[in-house]
Amino acid sequence: MTDSKNNEQQTDGKEPYRSGFVAVVGRPNVGKSTLINSLIGTQIAIASSRPETTRKAIRGILTTDNAQLVLVDTPGIHRPRTLLGQRLNDVVDESLSDVDEIAFLLPADQEIGPGDKRILSRLRSEFARKDEKTGKFIWKVPLIAIVTKIDELNRQELMAKLIEISQFADFTDVVPVSALERDNVAEVKRVLVENMPEGPQMYPDDQITEEKPEDTIAELVRGAFLEELDDELPHSLAVVVDSIDRPGESDNPETEDGKAHVLVSIYVERDSQKPIIIGHRAEHLVQVKKRLRTAVNRIVGQKSKLDLHVKVAKGWQSDPKQLERLGF
Ligand SMILES: Nc1nc2c(ncn2[C@@H]2O[C@H](COP(=O)(O)OP(=O)(O)OP(=O)(O)O)[C@@H](O)[C@H]2O)c(=O)[nH]1
Ligand SMILES: [Mg+2]
């Protein structure tokens, strides 16, 4: 099942062009962001071993010879415990309105659970109607089950898993994949394209995301801290890019060195968290800047300087005003 990097879609010239939106949904931590990155071939969404990594509906654009798919990464669907959790669920609702196809991710290495059932019934209430005669659900859009993390199972276990998932709901198709080992990623692409309605190309060939540079950088900074900090501060971080000043375009004296100046605020919930973020002799700030140098230069389109400021927004995850200010 391993696919080669050059395994692009072949067209015979007769295939219609297809385009539209795919909502990528599933419980927290099932591998949504990782799969989207691997479909697109570059990191546009951050992924981590912690649940609730994704907080915004990031849109990645996948262009093939005969199709363009906008993959909408969503926060994991879960029972909310904080106001932030509630807002994350709202984000999922918004990103579900008006999609052409749904990719429902289920991890191969876990049992189908109440979380998955809740997601299914939520999808049904929005996208399906019940046929009175047969009692079956008729879907308005294709519903594709993607079984993730298959590298965790042997062949026999995987077969049993695929059968179990096929019986869980009336999926249009069921596709196994390991995004981590790039196993069967091309097949996922093929199935998603095949089920997309006909439509025109919407974005230039080389555009891979709909996000503003500010938002992409803010996500990358948050992702870099999640990696840098291990488990010290799981959910307490929010990142905002306040400004990008380019030389010649602003009065900011910082740009006199010819570099763009990217001003970033990193919010934590309590004073005591500040030194943890900053680290001994600012080691975390230094590492994060180093990690992101190339990516930020690419996004801004020129040599840039990241300026990181750690601030406290007391209890922001449960405070409506603060949440709004931080873009939720
Ligand atoms: N073994 C294995 N692990 C994977 C695979 N894909 C993702 N993971 C791991 O699963 C964890 C979660 O991945 P994410 O892509 O952040 O999951 P998510 O569904 O986007 O999570 P939220 O945004 O929090 O809902 C990370 O530690 C990934 O490295 C895979 O194919 N195989
Ligand atoms: Mg995610």
Dihedral angle sign, alpha carbons of residues 325, 76, 44, 8? negative
Task: Kindly state whether residues 232 and 169 are assigned to the same domain.
Answer: no
Nearest 5°: the CA angle 136, 74, 120 is: 20
Domain that holds residue 253: 213-325
The token pair that represents 118 in the structure block:
């809740």
Among the bound ligands, the one closest to the CA of 36: 1
Task: Kindly state whether residues 90 and 157 are assigned to the same domain.
Answer: yes
Atom of ligand 1 nearest to the CA of 105: 19
Look up residue 327 and give its DSSP letter: T
Ligand 1 center to residue 31 CA distance, Å? 3
Q: Is the distance from CB of 224 to CB of 291 less than 8 angstroms?
A: yes
Which band of pLDDT confidence, cut at 50, 70 and 90, is reported for residue 9?
very low
Domain membership of residue 136 (yes or no) is yes
Amino acid identity at 139: W
Task: Kindly state whether residues 178 and 262 are assigned to the same domain.
Answer: no
CATH code, 225: 3.30.300.20
Q: Is the distance from CB of 244 to CB of 213 less than 8 angstroms?
A: yes
> Tell me, what's the pLDDT at 13?
56
Q: What is the CA radius of gyration of the chain?
A: 21
Helix (H) or strand (E) holding 130: strand 128-130
Ligand 1 center to residue 266 CA distance, Å? 24
Which residue is closest in CA terms to ligand 1's atom 21?
29
Domain membership of residue 6 (yes or no) is no
> Tell me, what's the pLDDT at 169?
94
Distance in angstroms (rounded) separating the CA atoms of residues 308 and 239: 10
Helix (H) or strand (E) holding 221: helix 213-228
> Tell me, what's the pLDDT at 48?
80
Task: Kindly state whether residues 23 and 155 are assigned to the same domain.
Answer: yes
> Tell me, what's the pLDDT at 227?
85
CATH code, 88: 3.40.50.300
Task: Kindly state whether residues 155 and 269 are assigned to the same domain.
Answer: no
Atom of ligand 1 nearest to the CA of 47: 16
Of the given ranges (169-178, 209-218, 240-249, 304-313), which has the lowest mean pLDDT? 209-218
The token pair that represents 186 in the structure block:
């091309």
Distance of CA 319 to the CA centre of its chain: 25
Task: Kindly state whether residues 26 and 168 are assigned to the same domain.
Answer: yes
Average pLDDT on 12-32 reads 88
- Over 90: is that where the pLDDT of 181 sits? yes
Question: Ligand 1 pocket: which residues have CB below 6 Å?
Answer: 26, 28-34, 47-49, 51-54, 75-76, 148-149, 151-152, 178-180
Q: Which residue has the higher pLDDT, 53 or 113?
A: 113
Task: Kindly state whether residues 182 and 219 are assigned to the same domain.
Answer: no
Helix (H) or strand (E) holding 292: helix 283-300
Mean pLDDT of the chain: 88
Question: Residues, the chain, total?
Answer: 328
State pLDDT tens for residues 284-297.
Answer: 999 999 999 998 99
Domain membership of residue 36 (yes or no) is yes
| Secondary structure in 3-state letters for 131-185 | CCCCCCEEECCCEEEEEECHHHCCHHHHHHHHHHHHHHCCCCEEEECECCCCECH
Task: Kindly state whether residues 228 and 179 are assigned to the same domain.
Answer: no
Which residue is closest in CA terms to ligand 1's atom 1?
149
Distance in angstroms (rounded) separating the CA atoms of residues 70 and 201: 11
Which band of pLDDT confidence, cut at 50, 70 and 90, is reported for residue 254?
confident
Domain membership of residue 9 (yes or no) is no
Number of domains into which the chain is organized: 2
Pocket test for ligand 1, best of 34, 147, 226 (most atoms within 8 A of CB): 34
Nearest 5°: the CA angle 306, 310, 311 is: 135
User: Could you give the percent of the chain with pLDDT greater than 90?
Assistant: 59
> What is the reported pTM?
0.80
Task: Kindly state whether residues 190 and 219 are assigned to the same domain.
Answer: no
- Over 70: is that where the pLDDT of 7 sits? no
Domain membership of residue 1 (yes or no) is no
Q: Which residues surround ligand 2, an ion (CB under 5 A)?
A: 32-33, 53-54
Pocket test for ligand 1, best of 1, 3, 29 (most atoms within 8 A of CB): 29
Average pLDDT on 37-64 reads 84
- Over 80: is that where the pLDDT of 100 sits? yes
Domain membership of residue 206 (yes or no) is no
Among the bound ligands, the one closest to the CA of 31: 1
Task: Kindly state whether residues 181 and 223 are assigned to the same domain.
Answer: no
Atom of ligand 1 nearest to the CA of 179: 31
